[in-house]
Amino acid sequence: MKAWPEFNEHGDLPPGVHSATLDETVQHFGTTARRVVIARRLERIYQLARSTGHLAHFIVFGSFVTAKAEPNDVDTFLLMEDSFDVRQVSSEARLVFDHAAAQNLLGASVFWIRRAAALGGEEATIAHWQIKRDGNKRGILEVINHD
């Protein structure tokens, strides 16, 4: 069983990129009826993104990975392989890569870019998602593949 860090005084994970499998993430953060619904959305988005065969990194940030009792949605950032072509994926998976459709139909904010667009490198691009609107840093989660 994964040992999770304690939330800080703001209810955030401590700054850094924390790694967990999808199952560990759902088990840890899917703790209320509302969170279970959001966790199911996260699972669907992850599976659709993986179904493309071009997913490099799957990052979860925002209220779902905090101590907030009732998050509104799940926020994700996907770093895709350079060979990824959204026109080549199934119509269902295509929803993940259309921000408005993902928000309206999947109940998630999904941001994505290809690896080549990661200005300053992949690590810097991923680390950027730790910065909150107020300029403070929070921890974020990378869902890692367990197979």
Among residues of the chain, what percentage have pLDDT more than 90? 92
pLDDT in tens, 80-132: 999 999 999 999 999 999 999 999 999 999 999 999 999 999 999 999 999 99
Mean per-residue pLDDT, 44-53: 96
Question: Within a 10 A sphere around the Cβ of 19, how many other Cβ atoms?
Answer: 12
Count of other CB atoms within 10 angstroms of residue 87: 5
DSSP labels for 116-147? GG-TT-HHHHHHHTTB-TTS-B-EEEEEE---
67-81 pLDDT, tens digit each:
999 998 999 999 999
- Read off the pTM: 0.95
Confidence category of residue 147, pLDDT binned at 50, 70, 90: low
